[in-house]
Structure 1
Amino acid sequence: MISLTEQQISDAKNNEISAVTAVIQATEDNVTNLARRYARTNGTPDDALSEELTQIGRVAVWEAIRRFQGNGVASFISYIDRTVKGSLSDARKRETRKGVSRSVAADFERALRASGGDPFEAERVATDPEVMGDRRMSRETAYAARLSWQGVDSLDAVVTDEADNETFLGEVIPGALPIPGDLAEPSDRENRRRRALRERVHATLSQLGEQQRAVLKGTYGIAPMPYYGTQNDEELAQALGVPRARIRSIRARAHARFETLWLRGADSDA
């Protein structure tokens, strides 16, 4: 609970050192907690980023004191909270979404919201003029935005739903492909398990034929293929240089072959 008086806030706006110090001290716990919240990478705390964001948050508080134009303690605390969150969010984007501009990252977030938090659907939505208007992206830009959002190794990327719950793409893939459910347990959030899962998916894909591997990667957006899903077979066929009529049969055979290889690997691990 932040405890300040209107007089302290007024004095702090006049740059009286003792009052400024009181404000910074009163908001320190909130800044630290927010920094930890925003400094999560792949679902786990990033101590170095947390420390950096904490410093950014303190500066944001100091700068917000002078800009505050409202009245009352509650209004001031609310303003400080919004300012710090905005500063930390921007700082985190600069650190974790490298490779695309801030405006592209913001547009991709808009597509994410329209897609219910699904980054692969967001990649498609980002190219849809009916949703994005004049902010729609080219397929190449949307693909780059998704990779920047998730990280280049997308199987180890974080996917956030509307309830702000985090899971990993390596846990989404088993839900789409016929992989045993015990691989998608919460313990997969541990780095070692996620790394093992990622490597196993890639190893299994490598045993497929070239066309089958390419169709599955395109279907599920596994780098370096963009995401096509199952609703854009015409575009996927053009990208792979095969007749559209063959995509569904290739996908079906690829799923069956992937399942056989995956389950064979599971038996050998037992």
Structure 2
Amino acid sequence: MNETLTLDLIRDAQANGLEGTSAVLEAMTGRIEKLSDAAARRMTTNGMSFEDCREDFRQDAAVALFEALPRFEGDSVDVFYGFMWRTIEDRLKDKVREARNQGADEDAVKVFASMLERADGDVYLAEKFAQTVPPKGRRLSADRAQAARMSWQGTLALDYRPNITDEPKVYDKTVNGMADALASSLGIPEDLITADDLTSEERRQKHAIVNAILDSLSPQQRSVIVHSFGIGGASEFGYGDASDNEGMAALLGMVAKHIPPARSKGMRNFAAKYIKAVAKTDEEAQELADAAAANLTNGGRK
């Protein structure tokens, strides 16, 4: 703590006195640098230069300091330091959020928030959902979805997700096939995926959900599932007792004994995410979970 700063000097600074202003700036310089460095480090996760960000944030912090100075009404230097620390920290968090959001708009954040509930809090899956699940005109571009996700996460989030690609994969163009195969294999009643009375929009949404969930799995789990069912024209090696694990392993460059656990884990992950996304009530979710669990107990490890 700079012991030369006094309450009298703070009051002088509030009155635009030169001595007080110089004393306040000198006392706060170390704190400004520390907060600015922390903000700049957050920005490096977006590939930005630490040095460039640090200088910009130091300027922002200094502006925040002198804008807040007239508002200080405390009765001690310690209270002044605490007030200024919080004020500058909040300003820099806002600046980091603005820079990292890349233009996230309120509407995009609302769409993302609605998808986040379907994704059971998985922000990266919600980002995928936001690009494909909403009706036409409400879907987000990849950039808007990412910006909304980053805005939701706030300034402390790290923009890193090794198993998610920039664009959603398209595994198949028909719901009847991919979704039905996965649903029946999980033990999910067929009418919950492709009932005759479903509208084309409902079918499209469920197809988009299946695509996005597949894309959110690890590369190994996704590949095993895709080749178990022949999704999107991939070679089909079967599932359960009829599966050709040796053939799939040869194609994917895996060890055959690793195929069943990858399939089982992938199917369980898919089931959990799919059920959360489509179940309308707790009772329906439990019914689907029980059906999937019963089917996967044996089939997923075959």
TM-score by length of 2: 0.46
Is 1:52 the equivalent of 2:56? yes
Distance (Å, rounded) in 2 between the aligned partners of 1:27 and 1:165: 27
Unpaired stretches in structure 1, ≥5 consecutive residues: 127-137, 152-157, 175-197, 216-231, 266-270
Q: CA RMSD in A?
A: 5.3
Distance 1:48 1:118, change over 3 A: farther
Unpaired stretches in structure 2, ≥5 consecutive residues: 131-136, 176-191, 195-200, 215-221, 229-233, 236-247, 255-302
Which residue number in structure 2 is paired with residue 169 of structure 1?
Answer: 161
Distance (Å, rounded) in 2 between the aligned partners of 1:41 and 1:236: 40
**Once the 2 structures are TM-superposed, how far is the Cα of residue 15 of structure 1 from its aligned partner?**
1.1
Which residue number in structure 2 is paired with residue 95 of structure 1?
Answer: 99
Q: Helix, strand or coil for the counterpart of 2:139?
A: helix
Q: Is the 8 A contact 1:35 1:54 kept in 2?
A: yes
Match for residue 264 of structure 1 among 217, 232, 253:
253
Which residue number in structure 2 is paired with residue 211 of structure 1?
Answer: 171
Distance (Å, rounded) in 2 between the aligned partners of 1:243 and 1:63: 48
Amino acid corresponding to residue 146 of structure 2 in structure 1 = L
Is 1:147 the equivalent of 2:136? no
Distance 1:78 1:147, change over 3 A: same
Amino acid corresponding to residue 68 of structure 1 in structure 2 = F
Give deviations 1:185-235, integer Å, cap 9, x for gaps.
xxxxxxxxxxxxx7xx98xx98xxx426999xxxxxxxxxxxxxxxx9788
Q: Is the 8 A contact 1:119 1:146 kept in 2?
A: no
Distance (Å, rounded) in 2 between the aligned partners of 1:11 and 1:119: 49
Which residue number in structure 1 is paired with residue 263 of structure 2?
Answer: none
Distance (Å, rounded) in 1 between the aligned partners of 2:22 and 2:34: 19
Give deviations 1:62-85, integer Å, cap 9, x for gaps.
111112122211221111111111
Amino acid corresponding to residue 12 of structure 1 in structure 2 = A
Give deviations 1:135-174, integer Å, cap 9, x for gaps.
xxx96369765411567xxxxxx9979xx5747211xx28
Distance (Å, rounded) in 2 between the aligned partners of 1:262 and 1:70: 71
Alignment of 1:71-82 (within 5 A): 71-82=75-86
Which residue number in structure 2 is paired with residue 22 of structure 1?
Answer: 23
User: Which structure exhibits the higher relative contact order, with contacts defined as CA atoms closer than 8 Å and separated by 6 or more residues?
Assistant: 2
Q: Is the 8 A contact 2:39 2:93 kept in 1?
A: yes
Distance (Å, rounded) in 2 between the aligned partners of 1:51 and 1:62: 17
Q: Helix, strand or coil for the counterpart of 1:38?
A: helix
TM-score by length of 1: 0.51
**Once the 2 structures are TM-superposed, how far is the Cα of residue 47 of structure 1 from its aligned partner?**
2.0
Is 1:238 the equivalent of 2:204? yes
Distance (Å, rounded) in 1 between the aligned partners of 2:67 and 2:50: 25
Distance 1:122 1:142, change over 3 A: farther
Distance (Å, rounded) in 1 between the aligned partners of 2:112 and 2:126: 8
Distance (Å, rounded) in 1 between the aligned partners of 2:138 and 2:158: 26
Q: Is the 8 A contact 2:7 2:76 kept in 1?
A: yes
Which is higher, the Rg of structure 1 or of structure 2? 2
Is 1:35 the equivalent of 2:50? no
Distance (Å, rounded) in 1 between the aligned partners of 2:80 and 2:112: 29
Give deviations 1:10-64, integer Å, cap 9, x for gaps.
1111111121111112111211121121122353663212211110101111111
Which residue number in structure 2 is paired with residue 120 of structure 1?
Answer: 124
Is 1:253 the equivalent of 2:257? no
Distance (Å, rounded) in 1 between the aligned partners of 2:251 and 2:22: 60
Q: Percent identity?
A: 21
Which residue number in structure 2 is paired with residue 192 of structure 1?
Answer: none
Distance (Å, rounded) in 2 between the aligned partners of 1:88 and 1:243: 37
Distance (Å, rounded) in 2 between the aligned partners of 1:243 and 1:121: 9
Which residue number in structure 2 is paired with residue 189 of structure 1?
Answer: none
